[in-house]
Amino acid sequence: MKICFVVDKFPSLSETFVLDQIAGCLEHGMEVGVVCNETTFGRDRNVDDQRWQALPGKVVCWWGSLGRYRPLLRKWSGRLWDKLSTAIDVVHAHKLRKADVIVAHFGTNGLRVARVIKRGRISAPLVTIFHGNDVGGPMHDNTLARYKTVFENGVLQLPVNAFFRDALIEVGAPPAKVVVHHMGVRPGEIEYRWRSWEQDTLSFISVCRLTEKKGIEYALRALASLPRRNWIYSVIGDGELLEGLKRLAGDLGIADTVTFLGPRPHAEVKQRLRDAHVFVLPSVSAPDGDLEGIPVALMEAMAAGLTVVSTYHSGIPELIQDQKTGFLVPERDVEALAGKLSWIAENPKLCEPIALAARSKIEADFNADVLNERFAQIATELGETRAPR
């Protein structure tokens, strides 16, 4: 069976969940191809892998050589952008025709494919996976109904959490065509190891792209207020807020105990998780509506045996139950976050059963092997229903 993934950039370090899903399809014997706006081979050693360059269905740019001008066209075409981009999409739609199933990651890509289907240029069943800003941004602007074409021309919507599912149904998605499909991690590849900080320097860590919705500002402010300074904090990731966060750490007087490591290979990230105690990700809703889905980084930390601290945000409570599998605080509540971190610092023994329960949660509900099996079954069933070409 031929399955085509439609994404923005490929491969992308910030979208390892796409790579993992593609790997699952390959493991199930599918002929996988990718149609994207831009290829990034050779630009980031953290995601360079021969598997992505040697996909049986190939990796191609949707607009071909014209793709390099896409950002400029979007900038200058203004209100004509939708019509112009759709016209170019239709011209290059032949790159999607051989697929038995099309999987669009993010609603924006689903909308592009749905418009081409509506015009009769392709006929493969479309599955759209909704992740975060593709739901949060339109919710913020009250334009979520823009996906009506996706609902009408796609066969299945797979939001990554129940919060997004309810939002899509509220604006007209048929409930029978909206199914929550979590992203996940492979517990078998992540060693669980509890590390007590009772006789050790407490090691906090965050792994994320440094954007506003990740809430690292609030982690820094909360840590600065801790009464005990026998701690260190490592931040892995890059992004537009990096320099500002470094300045904030200096202004708060904690620059000597906070290390910004930048992006790191996944193998190194796993090792640093093994060496840390507490994973902090105080996610927030960004001013433009950008939201988390359910961060995979939290799942990896829970699988590895860290105590995790996050917020009541989007789908995160579907992963973390406060004081059962981790700790949650309201968004942007520095005092509450500092209180949780302080309690954790003083109670390592009480955190151990919470970490063990977190590992069990991942194995039961966020196991990528199980989720990829389920996804492969969905894709296979849809591919078998496609009308003969």
Lowest model confidence (mean pLDDT) among 41-55, 177-191, 317-331 = 41-55
Angle between the N-to-C axes of helices 16-27 and 368-385, in degrees from 0 to 180, rounded to the nearest 10: 70
The two structure tokens encoding residue 367: 């196991």
SS3 279: strand
Taking the C-alpha atoms of residue 113 and residue 129, their distance in angstroms, rounded to an integer, is 13
φ and ψ of 192, to 5 deg: -85, 130
Per-residue pLDDT band for 207 (boundaries 50, 70, 90) equals very high
pLDDT reading at 388 higher than 70: no
DSSP code at position 185? B
Per-residue pLDDT band for 386 (boundaries 50, 70, 90) equals low
Lowest model confidence (mean pLDDT) among 191-195, 261-265, 272-276 = 261-265
pLDDT reading at 287 higher than 80: yes
Write the pLDDT tens digit of every residue in 350-376: 999 999 999 999 999 999 999 999 999
pLDDT reading at 389 higher than 60: no
Contact 375, 21 (CB under 8 A): yes
Per-residue pLDDT band for 46 (boundaries 50, 70, 90) equals low
φ and ψ of 110, to 5 deg: -60, -40
Can you give the pLDDT at residue 320? 98
Average pLDDT, rounded, for the chain: 95
Per-residue pLDDT band for 193 (boundaries 50, 70, 90) equals very high
pTM for the whole thing?
0.93
What long-range pairs does 370-373 form, CB within 8 A, spacing at least 24? 370/184, 371/24, 371/181, 371/182, 371/183, 371/184, 372/20, 372/21, 372/23, 372/24, 372/25, 372/27, 372/28, 372/184, 373/24, 373/28
